């Protein structure tokens, strides 16, 4: 009780300190270079996907519409976390303001939620295209696509507002050291000097409901997809269908596994190194992998990217 009263009497935390990847200056510079390269690869790759789809009318289909939404989400999440971490390594100043931390929490939760839902919608799009090709244009019409996109972003914003509000209702009056390279909800719960049971239960309940639904939805969709694909008599047709769907399933599996590992892992299994690695896997790796997977394995996107200079020249003419 005396310790609790002593903590309560301490001044409220107004700033936080982020974790560095190393205390050695040379390794911090190495981290800066790696993250800078990573950021440029992710930003340029996703921007090229967006520009290619926007400028090429033959790519104005539901699949590429949601791919643009996915790319915008990737740009948002990596821009929220990586630049600040690079600044920490370059300046050796780990300070982040309270408002800056709130902003990071909001955008990370919003983008991660949006990415999860978009991946589920993309799985549904492939399910309709492969299993019900004659009804595809009727089911995946532009009104339906717009409604699904709007529902995705609105629900993601509401989820972000909920999680951010619940997180920052906690009091931070002791340690202000966040053992992560960005403000992360589990790390803030660790340093809070108030009871976090409600917050932890909220994450667990929402995680079980949302993640379980998305997991079952996507894998059931792909179960039907693979069952239909195996019935295709043409070997080339089967290969094309598998090459379209398998990367999407791999991206989703990596994303949801590392996200669950970060937010729903028991505290007894938590460690700074494991927390940082899992955070990199669900906030940094997907923005790099998505444009590579969806462009290098997709001839339409490749052709669209090669046509970008010509399309821009036409617009400026």
CATH number at 250 reads 1.20.1070.10
pLDDT computed for residue 142 by the predictor: 93
Lowest average pLDDT, out of 154-168, 187-201, 229-243, goes to: 229-243
Among 36-45, 177-186, 197-206, name the most confident range.
Answer: 36-45
Query: Domain residues for 261?
Result: 2-316
| SS3 at position 312 | helix
| Cβ contact 42:79 at 8 Å | no
pLDDT computed for residue 71 by the predictor: 93
Q: What is the pLDDT of residues 134-182, one digit of tens each?
A: 899 999 999 999 999 999 999 999 999 999 998 888 888 777 888 888 8
pLDDT computed for residue 43 by the predictor: 93
| Cβ contact 44:89 at 8 Å | no
Q: Which long-range contacts (CB under 8 A, 24 or more apart) does 254-261 make?
A: 254/281, 254/285, 254/286, 254/289, 255/115, 255/116, 255/119, 255/282, 255/286, 256/116, 256/211, 256/214, 256/215, 258/282, 258/285, 259/112, 259/116, 259/211, 260/207, 260/211
pLDDT computed for residue 11 by the predictor: 53
pLDDT computed for residue 140 by the predictor: 93
Provide the number of structural domains found in the chain: 1
Give the rounded percent of residues in the chain with a pLDDT score beyond 70. 87
| SS3 at position 288 | helix
CA dihedral (176, 178, 184, 185) positive or negative: negative
Q: Which helix (H) or strand (E) holds 12?
A: none
Lowest average pLDDT, out of 67-76, 123-132, 144-153, 208-217, goes to: 208-217
| SS3 at position 147 | helix
- Token pair, residue 301, equals 């996107």
pLDDT computed for residue 4 by the predictor: 37
pLDDT computed for residue 37 by the predictor: 93
- For the question of whether the overall pTM of this predicted structure is more than 0.75, the answer is yes
| Cβ contact 17:100 at 8 Å | no
pLDDT computed for residue 217 by the predictor: 86
pLDDT at 251 over 80: no
pLDDT computed for residue 3 by the predictor: 34
């Amino acid at each position: 009780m005396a310790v609790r009263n002593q903590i309560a009497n301490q001044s409220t935390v107004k700033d936080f300190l982020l974790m560095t990847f190393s205390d050695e200056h040379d390794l911090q510079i190495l981290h800066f270079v790696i993250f800078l390269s990573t950021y440029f690869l992710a930003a340029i790759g996703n921007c090229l996907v967006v520009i290619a789809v926007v400028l090429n009318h033959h790519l104005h289909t539901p699949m590429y519409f949601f791919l643009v939404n996915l790319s915008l989400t990737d740009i948002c999440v990596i821009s929220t976390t990586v630049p600040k971490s690079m600044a920490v390594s370059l300046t050796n100043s780990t300070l982040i303001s309270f408002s800056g931390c709130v902003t990071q929490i909001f955008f990370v939760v919003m983008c991660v939620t949006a990415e999860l839902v978009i991946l589920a919608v993309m799985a549904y799009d492939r399910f309709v295209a492969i299993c019900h090709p004659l009804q595809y244009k009727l089911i995946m019409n532009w009104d339906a696509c717009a409604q699904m996109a709007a529902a995705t972003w609105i629900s993601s914003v509401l989820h972000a507002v909920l999680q951010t509000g619940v997180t920052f209702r906690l009091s931070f009056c002791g340690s202000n050291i966040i053992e992560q390279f960005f403000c992360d909800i589990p790390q803030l719960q660790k340093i809070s000097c108030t009871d976090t049971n409600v917050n932890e239960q909220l994450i667990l309940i929402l995680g079980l409901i949302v993640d379980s639904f998305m997991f079952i939805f996507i894998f059931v969709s792909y179960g039907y997809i693979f069952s239909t694909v195996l019935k295709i008599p043409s070997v080339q047709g089967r290969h094309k269908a598998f090459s379209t769907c398998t990367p999407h399933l791999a991206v989703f599996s990596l994303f949801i596994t590392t996200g669950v590992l970060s937010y729903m892992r028991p505290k007894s299994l938590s460690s700074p190194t494991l927390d940082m690695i899992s955070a990199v896997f669900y906030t940094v790796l997907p923005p790099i992998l998505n444009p590579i997977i969806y462009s290098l394995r997709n001839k339409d996107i490749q052709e669209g990217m090669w046509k970008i200079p010509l399309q821009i020249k036409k617009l400026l003419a």
